[in-house]
């Protein structure tokens, strides 16, 4: 099974990220000049001792390394965490293991402060390397600890959820939440390597796996119409976690994210903001529901519905787009509405969105499948109507 490469005529690829297929592995490069790094997508290769294994890729990406700090989600300590530890050279590398409790609540100032103390206590110096093993929560938290401890440690992302494989491990956004806003404290800090072993997905609960599909579908809407069509035809197989379509969906998502990040690493030109499709609503849903009550991907699915409704309402796209997006989200078994959505609670939180410029909210709105634009000056009554459409 294969999806065709993006057609040059309809979708000029001005910053192509290299995609190489090697047997059952795929390698994508995030092109950022001196900060470029590989995303290695494998199936079951973590403990291989040859050049395809984790240890070889780590050595290639990092160079000298005598101290590794594994920051891992407690729920993958015995599986992915253990596989990474066993793959590391037994001599010459000291390994410190720091565990973080599962869940969004760990992306907090309290947990971060403790983590800084734990890094200090285990003798971390500026040549130490942080390896984050877990989902987006661990990647965001450990990445921010790496960005800030002694003004910056090299770090590696080993994502173990679908969402982290397709989105959060790539692109260098790291950070924690404040009670009043998602990811309000953070830094752009790129990893040196993203190591994706799809075998780690075998233990992931269905609800978490499905949550990751929201970000996968996002790429189709924002910049890859061919991928959206591929997902429409293959969503049932991807939900079953059939290896080939699942690996293709992960690779194509990473390719999309790598392309956008290479274009606008620090979200200054506006290009990277497209990755925030649905997120202005989603972050307000997560904050008002209470962090962790609604999964990030679930909130993104509902947020994409609200954004698409807003776009139809303002005349930027036709209703057909919303129909196709609704059908795909439904086929992916993602929520499309939230009965408790309250515009009066959500709008003040949305006002703190990181896309706000000169005090005005900006929304990523679809024009057609595969194309979105950043729109400012949206009347509040239309925003309220878009929220109310999905209660």
Ligand X SMILES: O=C(O)C(=O)C[C@@H](O)[C@H](O)[C@H](O)COP(=O)(O)O
Binding site for ligand X (CB under 6 A): 167, 171, 173, 182-183, 215, 272, 275-276, 279, 354
Catalytic residue among 218, 283, 355, 362: 283
- Gap between the Cα atoms of 171 and 219, Å rounded: 14
Q: Least Å distance between CB 146 and ligand X?
A: 16
Whole-angstrom Cα distance, residue 363 to residue 355?
A: 8
> How many Cα atoms are found within 13 Å in the side-chain-facing hemisphere of 98?
27
Q: Which helix (H) or strand (E) holds 156?
A: strand 154-159
Q: Is 257 a catalytic residue?
A: yes
Taking the C-alpha atoms of residue 112 and residue 202, their distance in angstroms, rounded to an integer, is 29
Minimum separation from the CB atom of position 381 to ligand NAD (A): 29
> Could you tell me the smallest distance in angstroms from the CB atom of residue 182 to ligand NAD?
6
Distance CA 199, CA 104 (A): 24
151 is known as an active-site residue: yes
Near ligand NAD in 97-126, by CB under 6 A: 102-104, 107
359-368 in b/e form (b: 16+ CB < 10 A) is eebbbbbbee
Out of ligand X, ligand NAD, none, what residue 354 binds, judged by CB under 5 to 8 A for its kind, is ligand X
Q: Does 276 bind ligand NAD (CB under 6 A)?
A: no
- Out of ligand NAD, ligand X, none, what residue 222 binds, judged by CB under 5 to 8 A for its kind, is none
Q: Say if residues 170 and 261 touch (Cβ distance below 8 Å).
A: yes
The first and second tokens of residue 166, run together, are 């397709």
* Active-site annotation holds for 173: yes
82 interacts with ligand NAD by CB under 6 A: no
> Token pair of 267, please?
């979200």
Considering the complex, state which of residue 137 and residue 372 has its C-beta at the smaller distance from ligand NAD: 137
Site string for ligand NAD, 295-334 (x = CB under 6 A): -x--------------------------------------
Instruction: Give, in order, the Cα–Cα distances in Å from 242 to each of 190, 308, 310.
Output: 31, 30, 35
d(CA 87, CA 182): 35
Active site (annotated) includes residue 15:
no
Asked if residue 278 belongs to a known ligand binding site, the reply is no
Quick check: 57 binds ligand NAD (CB under 6 A)? no
- Nearest CA to 303 out of 264, 239, 346 is that of 346
Distance CA 254, CA 178 (A): 28
CB nearer to ligand NAD: give 177 or 234: 177
User: Given the complex with ligand NAD, which of 192 and 317 has the nearer CB atom?
Assistant: 192
- Is 267 among the residues known to form the active site? yes
Among residues 192, 257, 259, 271, the one annotated as catalytic is: 257
Which residue lies nearest ligand NAD, judged by its C-beta? 136
Look up residue 372 and give its two tokens: 């979105």
User: What is the β-pairing status of strands 19-22 and 25-30?
Assistant: antiparallel
User: Does the footprint of ligand NAD cover residue 343 (CB under 6 A)?
Assistant: no
CA 227, CA 367: separation in Å to the nearest integer?
Answer: 17
Q: Is residue 118 among the annotated active site residues?
A: no
User: How many beta carbons lie within 10 A of that of residue 189, not counting itself?
Assistant: 20
Binding site members for NAD(+): 102-107, 136-140, 160-161, 173, 182, 200-203
Give binding residues for Zn(2+) as ranges. 215, 279, 296
Residues that bind ligand NAD (CB under 6 A): 73, 75-76, 80, 102-104, 107, 134-138, 140, 160-161, 163-164, 167-168, 171, 173, 182-183, 200, 203-204, 208, 211, 296
Please give the positions annotated as active site.
151, 173, 215, 257, 267, 272, 276, 279, 283, 296
């Amino acid at each position: 099974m294969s999806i065709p490469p993006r057609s040059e005529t309809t979708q000029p690829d001005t910053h192509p990220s290299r995609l190489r297929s090697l047997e059952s592995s795929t390698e994508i490069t995030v092109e950022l000049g001196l900060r470029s790094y590989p995303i290695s997508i494998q199936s079951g290769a973590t403990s291989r001792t040859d050049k395809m294994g984790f240890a070889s890729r780590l050595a290639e990406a990092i160079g000298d390394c005598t101290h590794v700090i594994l920051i891992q989600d407690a729920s993958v300590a015995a599986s992915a965490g253990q596989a990474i530890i066993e793959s590391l050279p037994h001599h010459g590398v000291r390994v410190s293991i720091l565990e973080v409790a599962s869940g969004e609540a760990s992306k907090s100032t309290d947990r971060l402060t403790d983590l800084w103390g734990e890094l200090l206590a285990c003798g971390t110096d500026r040549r130490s390397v942080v390896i984050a093993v877990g989902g987006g929560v661990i990647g965001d938290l450990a990445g921010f600890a790496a960005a800030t401890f002694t003004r910056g440690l090299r770090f590696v992302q080993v994502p173990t959820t679908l969402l982290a494989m397709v989105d959060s491990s790539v692109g260098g956004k790291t950070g924690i939440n404040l009670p009043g806003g998602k990811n309000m404290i953070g830094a752009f800090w790129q990893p040196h390597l993203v190591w994706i072993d799809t075998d780690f997905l075998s233990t992931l609960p269905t609800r978490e796996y499905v949550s990751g599909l929201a970000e996968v579908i996002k790429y189709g809407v924002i910049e890859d119409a061919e991928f959206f069509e591929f997902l429409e035809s293959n969503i049932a197989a991807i939900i079953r976690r059939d290896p080939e379509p699942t690996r293709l969906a992960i690779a194509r998502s990473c390719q999309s994210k790598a392309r956008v990040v290479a274009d606008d690493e620090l979200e200054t030109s506006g290009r990277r903001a497209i990755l925030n499709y649905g997120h202005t609503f989603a972050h307000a849903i997560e904050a008002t529901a209470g962090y962790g009550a609604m999964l990030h991907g679930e909130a993104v699915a509902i947020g994409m519905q609200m954004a698409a409704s807003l776009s139809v309402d303002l005349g930027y796209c036709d209703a057909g787009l919303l129909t196709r997006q609704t059908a795909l989200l439904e086929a992916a078994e993602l929520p499309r509405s939230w009965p408790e959505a309250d515009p009066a609670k959500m709008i003040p939180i949305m006002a703190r969105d990181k896309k706000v410029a000169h005090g005005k909210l900006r929304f990523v709105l679809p024009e057609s499948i595969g194309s979105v634009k950043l729109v400012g000056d949206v009347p509040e009554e239309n925003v309220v109507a878009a929220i109310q459409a999905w209660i």
